[in-house]
Amino acid sequence: MTEQTGGSQSASKGTVHLVHLYPREMSIYGDLGNTRALASRLRWHGYTPVVHDHHPGADWPDEAHLLLGGGGQDSGQLRVQEDLDRHADRLRELAADGLPMLMICGMYQLFGQAFITVEGRRLPGLRILDVTTTGNATRMIGPVVLDTDAGQVVGYENHSGATVLGQGQAPFGSVVAGQGNNGTDGTEGARTGNVIGSYLHGPILPANPVLADHLLEIAVTRATGQWQPEQLDDSTAQQAHQRQVMRLLAADRRSTSRVGRLLPRR
């Protein structure tokens, strides 16, 4: 399904095509909000967004300037596997060409080397990101703060898969609060070129407008040749973002202090 959500073409600075991969099967944790946030911000910046919902078996849209994918259950990943394999070469070519992509949770896992379900079934990934994920019985759930190239990013993780980065694979961010890829190595997500994989739901983009505009700048430049943003009032989102950072860092300091008091004195 394709939806043009912009105003009049005559007033538009240009048309930008967003492709949401498998919104029925792989967007069950509110990640549809990322697509809506980008479409809204495109309109506010004076551009015309066209959203393509790509479902299994559908033809690929003629134009794509930014790709999004969300989280889902293991059964959802099984349902999209065949279609993802059908478009694998195209997706790898687009990633290598610098197309911006944001893949959350289940789609992040499928963009890696492989996802091994909790039952031991191995699903091959697209190998765009050098990560391997193994399903676990224990979930990692809770709010997260990251240090990233786009500044501090906040979100909410909810995943049972534990992801390990390959040698040389850059993470999306360093964990300041939360558990991240696997709860042990301090990394969260992965980034290769303009492809970002992450476990942060929330959804992540409405809570982090700087990251949203970072992706849009790349997409709009590819679509129109230049990025001409408007001055948007993000004060409410920025206040919520900052309060979340302060709250989690304060909780982390209290936890560290409490652990320190429990340690035996030498």
Q: Amino acid identity of 60?
A: W
Which of 19-28, 73-82, 193-202 bottoms out in mean pLDDT, i.e. has the lowest? 73-82
Q: Which of 4-8, 64-68, 245-249 has the lowest mean pLDDT?
A: 4-8
Which of the pair, 150 or 65, is modelled with greater confidence? 65
Q: What pLDDT does residue 26 have? A: 87
pLDDT digits (tens, 9 = 90+) for 77-104: 778 888 999 999 999 999 999 999 999 9
Query: So what's the pLDDT on residue 265?
Result: 43
Say if residues 19 and 61 touch (Cβ distance below 8 Å).
yes
Tens of pLDDT, residue by residue over 144-168, are 999 999 899 999 999 999 999 999 9
Given a cut of 60, whether residue 266 has pLDDT beyond it is no
With a CB cutoff of 8 Å and minimum separation 6, the contacts of 42 are 6, 16, 48, 49, 216, 220
In contact, 107 and 81? CB cutoff 8 Å = no
Q: Is the pLDDT score of 261 beyond 80?
A: no
Tokens of 194: 């303009």
Residue type, 249: L
| pLDDT score for 76 | 74
Residue 5 is predicted with a pLDDT of 62
Whole-number average pLDDT of the chain: 90
Residue 100: how many CB atoms within 10 A of its CB? 23
175 vs 73, more confident: 175
Question: What is the model's pLDDT at position 253?
Answer: 73
pLDDT tens string 210-247: 999 999 999 999 999 999 999 999 999 999 999 999 99
- pLDDT tens across 90-141, in order? 999 999 999 999 999 999 999 999 999 888 888 899 999 999 999 988 899 9
Overall average pLDDT of the 181-199 stretch: 97
Active-site residues, by number, are 105, 201
Amino acid, res. 114: A
Query: Radius of gyration of the chain from Cα atoms?
Result: 19
Residue 197 to residue 154: CA distance in whole angstroms: 15
Provide the pLDDT for residue 74.
Answer: 72
- Establish whether 139 is an annotated binding residue: yes
Answer for the pair 47, 17: CB distance below 8 angstroms, yes or no.
no
Which of 157-166, 200-209, 240-249, 257-266 shows the lowest mean pLDDT across its residues? 257-266
Comparing 23-37, 38-52, 69-83, 122-136, the range with the smallest average pLDDT is 69-83
- What are the tokens at 198? 């992450």
Say how far apart CA 217 and CA 145 lie, in whole Å.
23
Q: In percent, how much of the chain has pLDDT > 90?
A: 74
